[in-house]
Amino acid sequence: MDAKLEEPGGRPVMSRIDYPKEMAKPLLPLREVMEQTGDHTAVQALTDLISKAEMKHLTIAFCGHFSAGKSSLINSLCGKRVLPSSPVPTSANVVSIRNGEPKAIIHTTSNVSADNGPETLEVSPEELEVYCKNGGAYSSIEVWDDIPLLKDDAVLLDTPGVDSTDRGHSLATHSALHLADVVFYVMDYNHVQSETNLSFAKSLSDWGKPLFLIVNQIDKYRERELSFDQYVEGVEAIFTAWEVRYDGLLFTSLRDKEHRYNQWALLPELIGQMMEEKEGLIKHSLASSASHITEQHLARQAEKREEEENSLLEEIGGKEGIERLERELALIDQQAADLRSLPSRAREKFRAELEPLLSNANLTPADIRTSAAAYLESRKPGFRVGLLFSGGKTEQEKQRRVSELARLLQDQTSGQVEVHIRTMLRQLGESHQLWGTQWEQALNMELPAVDEALLEMKRSASAEVSPEYVLQYSKDLRGEIETRYRRSAMMLADRILEALGSQGEAALQALDASRAALLAQSAAAARYTALQRSAAAEAAGLRSLLPHAGPLPSGLLPEVQGPHVPAHGPGEAPGPHAGTSASVAAQPQTPEAQPPQRIAAAVVPGPSAAAGAERRRRLDAAAARLEAAAALVEPYPAMGSAVRDLRARAASLAGGTFTLALFGAFSAGKSSFANALLGEDVLPVSPHPTTAAINRIMAPAGGAEHGTARVRMKTRDAFQEDLAYSFRLLGLGEPETEWQKRVQSLSPQDVHPAGRPHYSFLQAAAAGWEETADQLGQDVLVDLNGYRNFVANEKKSCFVDSIDLYYSCDVTEQGIVLVDTPGADSVNARHTGVTFNYMKNADALIFVTYYNHAFSQGDRQFLNQLGRVKDSSAMDQMFFVVNASDLSSSEEELEQVLDHVSTQLRSNGIRAPRLFPVSSLQAMEGKMSGDTNMLEQSGFIRFEEEFNRFAGKELADLAVGGASEEMARVIQRLKKRAEDAAQGEESLQRRRDELETIQGQSRQRIQRLADRSMKEELSQETAELLFHVRQRLAYRLGLFMAEAFHPSVLREDRGNLKTVFAACGRELLRMIAIELEQELLATTLRLEQAGQTWLMKQVTECIDEVRQLSGGVDVSLPLNQRWSTPVLEEVRLEEPSGWKSYWSYFRNPKQFFEGDGRQRLQEALDPVLKQMIIEVLPAAQNKLIQFYDNQLEQSLLHQSRQLEERLDEAVSGLHDMLTSGIPVGEWESLAVQLEQIERG
């Protein structure tokens, strides 16, 4: 009787005439076994498969990131809006879509009945959106609508985003895939290479289901960024590196159906062709899913055994203990067997040596045969010797002849046989420590002798004595001697070996005792081994029940051609692209690294141009006023220092630049934002990550021409340091001579996600080494094409230290230097000092994040540092940009995203951020095309207005205010000169004499300023700051642990988990090292502030005392000296014993994350990591104290010299007044003229 069939969810299925029993039949015994084991999950999954076989629907699943457009693709396939779609997650559970009368059935997770299964709700399609979002309350959703594409043959599955943080969403996606016959994996054009995409696609590939990759939203592609060929090659290369096997690669856009690379129209055709082959696809899918369900069942069974197995392993001493126990038992068994078999083996060996000895012995040579013949003659009847008295003589002759023969034969036997047998028997006994006097005596007594009886015994009385008989007789003698010696030798050998056996019994008893002790210890091992054998038998039994799941038969899947271009634009040529599983379609080759097109007539002059011009005008005007003032007072020697101060300030304003630094992750769109700001396509933009270096874009200067770049290559030592760092981070040890081969053997699956930039760096370095190595340490001058190639081509950019691009446009001609920094997640992010100096010294900072992607761990560490810099800065010069705001579908949705980003910024130490949503794409297109509406819509105008208000007003006010302060100081000095001149000659003479008298006292006071030291306070302040650094790091260790040892990384499908575990450990050390470096750099800010405050206090006190001593002489001077940042050593935390000793805390992902594994690991690592931090800090502390003590010493010396100079000027000025007779009015007139210049 057939088993009762059920649909998914446990609902009975009506019998159908076309039920393909051959598909479901192999699954029935498999389900029965699963039922017996109590695995309800596997039973339900197999029941679903059996029902699926009965339904005969081709199930096509769509998976991917939440923002990739899965639901929109499905709606387009259906020809109507069946599912809700939005850039925020919409599908929180699995939705199945069929052709039929419009309705929706919701299966709830509550009120589940054992008999009827889960409760169901039937709703209209219009009410579906709320159910799709509330995944926790519903197990699955089924939708029917008028969808001609599906006919009655297919079902579409929409799954939750694979990047969801909700574990339930991930489980829902994976649980639905066992029903899928074909999987379409959908990716966003800009984020194909995300680790989530690659990892999930790899798991789908390993499953064995037909897999098609869809790169959606290709309307984001811009030909000016890179050729489509290059983009496709990059996509194919990364999936090849991850060993993802797929059956087709499609590029689609729903926004721009006419896009020339759009393969959207191919998708419904593919589905239609698959439906025609559905029986073969379903059959293959059932076999693949059954295999996968079985493997998951076996994994769950292993989890059930795990606690007992781990307990047994702990008792045994780990798997190494089992192996050791097995080795020792095997060794004892072998030793016992050897002891038992030793006598027989020794006997066989002895006999094997004895036989050739006897058989090869020459016992009857010619002289003995002659003697034997004489002996035989003497035994013939009638033998007589002589005639007289012959009787006595004859007997004597007979005796002589037999004695002679016996002697000769004995001597021959002794030499040929006996002496060797004696040696062999001695060796036998001695080799087993058994030989002694008694055995020598036994040899003498028991070895046979050749006697007359032997000679007589072998003689035949009836034989006729003839040469032939003499030979036969000799042979018979030889045979008898051999037999006697063989028998005696073997008897003696057996007696020796019998003694050996007795001796071996004692050794056997000792071995048996040892074996019994080991067996007593191996009860746990026997139980563990039994569990393992039982599990292996169960696995073999289940796998034997599985239907055959070999490779997919050819012809079942349609071939997919590459994107086809119907027509070529000007200057384009068709180029082949290697398709994934099919023939190749022609497509254009875009010339590599085309220079940006400068369409000046179309560019919309945004507010930046006017604001920049106003800023420049104000600064130039202030510089001109300062220069005019300097020229006015230059003829007066007493104003020499004033002239120098005025002209130094004027030069900084007139020739000064404005540094604008861009920060953010590689995928945030920093380069596209920079291009929008510049108003031209200057920086190369790519959807693929590159190894970025510092890029500075500035107006041509120093003879450099527009559109040229100076590429500063890394030195060979610097490159080797980067290489070694990446090698260590990826667990490759130290790079050797043939490091390229080591890199090529590295699998990306063994790399922690945070290590991906280092993996890419090594791959690029290995690929570009031969071409670029000779340029290391050089400055390379290139044109714009060469510049774009150095930036966009990772095989070149990985060798670049920094690039200065000289480019003339509205922004750079205002004196703005735009700095594009490496992403917070790039390989160069470890050079924290370079980035920190831009944070500290740039006039403005812009952090760019992407519209629908959360901050990475690197971003968060970076933002924490920005927060520290902001807290130490007197002015808020930071701007935060949410790029790609055009992806939002409504204002409400955009506000939600901005609120989310604001919350994230605040949680990372950025309070009250200036936040701007922009679309660089729209801004660029609006500027280039002259479309003011698009430019307004991009949000860029609001950003530029606020930015230009800051740059043109706040910063300009600060600079112009400084100029005004400088003018005010000079005017005050002129007025003081006028006051002095008004006193009259007698008063001036007295005043000069007083100053000359107290000048020495003032100099002594100034000298005491130069001799002051803050070292003690500095040491105390540094120690206190580093104590708090240590505390903060200790507090955050748990957070770093959670980031490094993350469930998304330590997954069962990641392959060798021991390798991944070690990679997590190295990532933990990297994060701590980066954080410690960031903290140390932030400490330099606090120490600089403390030092500057102390310095200002000392100088101010000195000025006040000198002023009091001198009766009001003005010796004031500017105190805005800027200090450099110390170059700190890179923090390197040594790897603790390769993480092997910590592996025991990890049994499997469930135990580690849901049990106490990670907590126990943290408890074990906590003291080790804290000690590492403690050991690093003393060297840093000494470096900081030494550096800032030296800074203060130099600053005090500089300030004291300036004070002395001003004091000398005051005295010489009074002298000049007496000698030159400059009237009061002239000084007053100069002051009035400077006031008029200042007022403009």
Does residue 610 fall inside a structural domain? no
Same domain, yes or no, for 272 and 153? yes
- In-domain check, residue 270: yes
Picking from 216-230, 509-523, 908-922, which range would have the lowest pLDDT averaged per residue?
509-523
Q: How confident is the model at residue 1053 (pLDDT cuts 50, 70, 90)?
A: low
Do 1080 and 1176 lie in one domain? The reply is yes
Q: Which residues make Cβ contacts (< 8 Å) with residue 852, sequence separation at least 6?
A: 67, 87, 88, 884, 887, 897
When mean pLDDT is compared across 501-510, 940-949, 1094-1103, the lowest value belongs to 501-510
List all residues 6 or more positions away from 676 whose beta carbon is below 8 Å from its beta carbon.
918, 920, 923, 924, 927, 938, 940
Region of residue 384 (phi > 0: left; psi between -120 and 50: alpha; otherwise: beta): beta
Does residue 202 surpass a pLDDT of 70? yes
Per-residue pLDDT at 583 exceeds 50: no
DSSP 8-state class, residue 26: T
Stretch 406-435: mean pLDDT, rounded? 85
Per-residue confidence band for 601, with pLDDT thresholds at 50, 70 and 90: very low
Per-residue pLDDT, 5: 40
Quote the domain boundaries for residue 477: 325-521
State residue 1186's pLDDT score: 92
pLDDT for the residue 870:
64
Banded model confidence at residue 567, pLDDT cuts 50, 70, 90: very low
Which of 40, 158, 30 has the alpha carbon at shortest distance from 93?
A: 158
Per-residue confidence (pLDDT) for residue 875, from 0 to 100:
57
When pLDDT is averaged across residues 247-258 and rounded to a whole number, the result is 89
The SS3 of residue 745 is coil
Of 934-948, 965-979, 1084-1098, the one with minimum mean pLDDT is: 965-979
Can you give the pLDDT at residue 595? Answer: 44
Same domain, 384 and 277: no
How sure is the predictor about 238, in pLDDT bands with cuts at 50, 70 and 90? confident
Q: Tokens 């073999």 — which residue? A: 540
- CA dist 91 and 87 (Å) reads 11
1112 token code pair = 């009001």
pLDDT at 310 over 80: no
Top-ranked range on mean pLDDT: pick from 101-110, 797-806, 975-984, 1113-1122: 797-806
- Give the list of residues 6+ apart from residue 823 with CB closer than 8 angstroms, or none: 664, 665, 666, 668, 670, 689, 692, 829, 858
In a domain, 923, yes or no: no
What is the pLDDT, as a whole number, of residue 607?
47
C-alpha–C-alpha distance, residues 1165 and 1169, integer Å:
6
Residues 174 and 101 in one domain: yes
**DSSP class of 117:** B
pLDDT one-digit tens code per residue, 1015-1047: 888 899 999 999 988 888 888 888 888 888 887
Is 1167 within a domain?
Answer: yes
- Assign 713 a pLDDT band (cuts: 50, 70, 90): very high
- Alpha-carbon span 522 to 315, nearest angstrom: 9
Name the nearest CA neighbour of 235 among 186, 193, 187.
193
pLDDT in tens, 639-671: 887 888 888 888 877 766 788 888 886 667 788
Under the phi-then-psi rule, with left for phi > 0, alpha for psi from -120 to 50, and beta for the rest, what region is 679?
left
How do strand 915-917 and strand 878-883 relate by DSSP bridges?
A: parallel
Lowest-pLDDT range of 587-601, 616-630, 957-971, 1082-1096: 587-601
Same domain, yes or no, for 86 and 231?
yes
Predicted confidence at residue 861, as pLDDT, reads 65
pLDDT for 1100 beyond 50: yes
CA distance 194 to 238: 10
Q: What is the Cα–Cα distance from 100 to 149, expressed in whole angstroms?
A: 11
698: which strand partners?
Answer: 806
Query: Is the pLDDT assigned to residue 578 strictly greater than 60?
Result: no
Are 458 and 349 found together in one domain? Answer: yes
In this structure, of 428-442, 578-592, 1123-1137, the range with the lowest mean pLDDT score is 578-592
Domain end position, chosen among 505, 521, 537: 521
CB-based contacts of 213: which residues, under 8 Å, 6+ apart? 184, 185, 187, 201, 239, 246, 248, 249, 250
958: nearest Cα among 1032, 1041, 877, 882: 877
- Look at residue 191 and tell me if it is in a domain: yes
Does 343 lie in the same domain as 215? no
Residue 106 predicted with pLDDT over 80 = yes
pLDDT at 212 over 90: yes
| pLDDT, position 1111 | 64
CA atoms within 13 A on the CB side of 359: 6
In SS3 terms, 186-224 reads as EEEHHHCCCHHHHHHHHHHHHHCCCEEEEEECHHHCCCC
Apex CA 1182: angle with CA 1181 and CA 1188, to 5°? Answer: 90
Provide the b/e sequence for 652-662 (b: ≥16 CB within 10 Å).
bbbeeebbbbb
As a whole number of angstroms, the distance between CA 56 and CA 715 comes to 65
pLDDT value, residue 577: 31
State the SS3 of 924-946.
HHHHHHCCHHHHHHCCHHHHHHH
CATH of the domain at 159: 3.40.50.300
Cβ count within 10 A of residue 219: 17
Please report, rounded to a whole number, the percentage of residues in the chain having pLDDT higher than 90.
7
Mean pLDDT over 297-313 rounds to: 78
Lowest mean pLDDT among 617-631, 649-663, 743-757, 919-933: 743-757
- Higher pLDDT: 1025 or 954? It is 1025
538: its two tokens: 């169960």
Q: What is the pLDDT of residue 1003?
A: 80
Percent of the chain clearing pLDDT 70 (strictly above):
82
Confidence label for 183 from pLDDT (cuts 50, 70 and 90): very high
| Torsion (CA) 184, 188, 194, 195 in degrees, nearest 10 | -20
Q: Do the beta carbons of residue 309 and residue 321 sit within 8 Å?
A: no
Do residue 205 and residue 277 come from a single domain? Answer: yes
Taking alpha carbons only, the member of 1048, 966, 271 closest to residue 622 is: 966
**Residues 481 and 401 placed together within one structural domain of the fold:** yes
829: confidence class by pLDDT, cuts 50, 70, 90: low
Residues 6+ positions from 838 with CB-CB distance below 8 Å: 659, 661, 819, 821, 845
Asked, for residue 1062, whether it belongs to a domain, the answer is: yes
Q: Which residues pair with 216 in a beta bridge?
A: 188
Between the CA of residue 148 and those of 58, 62, 180, what are the distances in Å? 15, 19, 20
As a whole number, the mean pLDDT across the chain is 79
Q: Residue 640: beta bridge partners?
A: none
Return the closest-CA partner of residue 695 out of 609, 788, 760: 788
The reported pTM is: 0.64
Determine which of 44-58, 199-213, 410-424, 518-532 has the lowest per-residue pLDDT on average.
Answer: 518-532
Q: Quote the CA–CA distance of 686 and 669 in Å, as a whole number.
A: 9
pLDDT in the model for residue 71: 82
Structure token digits, residue 300:
């769950």
Residue 1140 lies in a domain: yes
Q: Which of 291, 311, 340 is the last residue of a domain?
A: 291
pLDDT of 164 above 60 = no
**Three-point CA angle 777, 780, 783, nearest 5°:** 160
Q: Is residue 158 part of a domain?
A: yes
DSSP 670-689: HHHHHHHHHTS--S---SS-
**What stretch of H or E contains 543?**
helix 523-545
Amino acid at 131: Y
Per-residue pLDDT band at 573 (split at 50, 70, 90): very low
What single-letter amino acid sits at 519? L
Strands (E), 358-414: none
**Interval 719-761: pLDDT, tens:** 888 888 888 878 787 887 778 888 877 777 777 766 777 888 8
Which of 914, 345, 225 is CA-nearest to residue 590? Answer: 225
Find out whether 211 and 183 touch, Cβ atoms under 8 Å: yes
Band (pLDDT 50/70/90 cuts) for residue 12 is very low
What SS3 class is residue 185? Answer: strand
* pLDDT at res. 249: 92
Q: Which residue has the higher pLDDT, 946 or 567?
A: 946
> Which amino acid is residue 809, in one-letter code?
C
Beta strands (DSSP E) in 293-359 are none
Same structural domain, 248 and 377: no
Strand 694-698 with 816-820, pairing: antiparallel
- Across the range 289-301, mean pLDDT stands at 85
Q: Do 185 and 263 reside in the same domain of the chain?
A: yes
Q: How many domains does the chain have?
A: 3
Q: Which amino acid is at 1234?
A: L
Q: What is the pLDDT of residue 587?
A: 35
Q: Specify the pLDDT at position 363.
A: 85
Distance separating alpha carbons of residues 1048 and 826, to the nearest angstrom: 20
Instruction: Please identify, among 291, 311, 339, the residue that sits at the C-terminal boundary of a domain.
Output: 291
Query: Is pLDDT of 614 > 80?
Result: no
Q: Evaluate if residue 689 carries a pLDDT over 60.
A: no
Query: Do 144 and 80 reside in the same domain of the chain?
Result: yes
Q: Which residue would you say has higher pLDDT here, 124 or 678?
A: 678
